[in-house]
Chain A
């Protein structure tokens, strides 16, 4: 089998040699990452000019007051601060209630995020974004599968049953070593791996909403705060044989800085990813992008297309990827066109 794969890879390599435009995986990565087909993990950060490098994960609303100090300094917003939190987590109730109540599951999964960023190092203006991500349906949520939870608990139960008598007063940190060993047991690993394998592409529906403001010179005063943008996202993930189909739409209203500036961007698209074998993956995606401006004659729209196939070829030291795609030509980028690219790289680019 591997011999055939090798031959197939070398054949494709030779066939595409003449027309391919790059031997660098960056081009393929860019084609694959140009359009985001899901709802961003943190919609707030998606609207900022730069994404925060570090996000503080808060456990309860009481932690927010302590975190606010990271955002404000002497009445001015600080750039680069970010946190996220499950704001309704304590309304979700017990695990038993969660498994019965759809509302409980939505409340638990919802994540609020808040972040700040500057446009550049030289800019004194600070952007602040807030957003909410609401996974409305998620059939891949392990908690909602009572059988899986029950089997997992039974495996831990068995491990505790076999546990020898520890000395009195053992701390949680000391017990953690035992717990870590439990997690490595074959029974528990197999349950987790089997679940991930069965449900990774299960149906899900996510919604996201976010808004951002610009604080002139970082001042948090009414006359210094200016609306910047509002974003809405929705995405459906659907199982298909050996793969997943994602259908998504998003829109952003933008406060234009000039008459010709962008006021609204709408993106609608779909992506299918296939994991045919451990050595063969494929991805196909199409998106339509509309960019609206204050001056109607500056409006533009274009197509984004990407078809990527990658093969694992050990003799070449990793993966061979072949891609066709890019953006169609449009007013602000008349030179762009669909093209062939190939590359050899260590780690696979198409991931589930």
Chain B
């Protein structure tokens, strides 16, 4: 299991996760979950879609040591031939981007007439 470790500033302000497809006209919808460091479930942080890609994760204090899992769907439009897609996950703090990544688990590839699932895990830790 891949977990991207993201270091934040304890005094840097609120954190935001942005999930989008900026380079290809694809539609993504999904959810962000938060877990405690022992992987027990903590909270559903919010849902995202094309016109509302940002999820507010809260302050550094409440997120220190927490784990996050993003689950999403790239919606199919019956493309023939299949079309490329690339999901980008940005984690930012007070507007400053801390991490930009294409999820390695289903975050890029081809989509035809079947929806595609993707997943991305990360942790937040204070400096």
A59 interfacial by beta-carbon distance below 8 Å? yes
Q: Closest CB-CB distance, B75 to chain A, in whole Å?
A: 6
Query: By the criterion CB–CB under 8 Å, are B47 and A157 in contact?
Result: yes
Cα separation A153 to B23 with both chains bound (whole Å): 19
A332 at the interface (CB under 8 A from B): no
Chain A window 138-161, contacts with chain B (Cβ cutoff 8 Å), 1 for yes, 0 for no:
000111000001101110110011
Counting CB contacts under 8 A, is A10 at the interface?
no
Q: Are B47 and A178 in contact (CB under 8 A)?
A: no
Pairwise interchain contact B83-A108, C-beta atoms closer than 8 A: yes
Interface of B: prevailing SS: strand
Name the prevailing secondary structure of the A interface residues.
helix
A111 to chain B, nearest CB (A): 6
Please give the distance in Å from A18's CB to the nearest CB on chain B.
44
A90 to B73, CA, bound (A): 20
Cα A154 to Cα B33 in complex, Å, equals 19
Cβ-defined contact, A168 with B29, below 8 A:
no
List chain A positions with a Cβ less than 8 A from chain B: 41, 55, 57, 59-60, 84-86, 89-90, 92-99, 104, 108, 111, 141-143, 149-150, 152-154, 156-157, 160-161, 163, 165-173, 175-176, 178-180, 182-183
Q: Give B residues with C-beta under 8 Å from A.
A: 1, 3, 20-27, 29-31, 33, 35, 39, 41, 44, 47, 49-51, 67, 69, 71, 73, 75, 77-78, 80-84, 103, 105-106, 109-110, 112, 114-119, 121
Q: What are 9 A-B interface contacts by the 8 Å CB criterion?
A: A96-B51, A108-B83, A152-B27, A157-B47, A170-B71, A175-B117, A175-B118, A179-B73, A183-B115
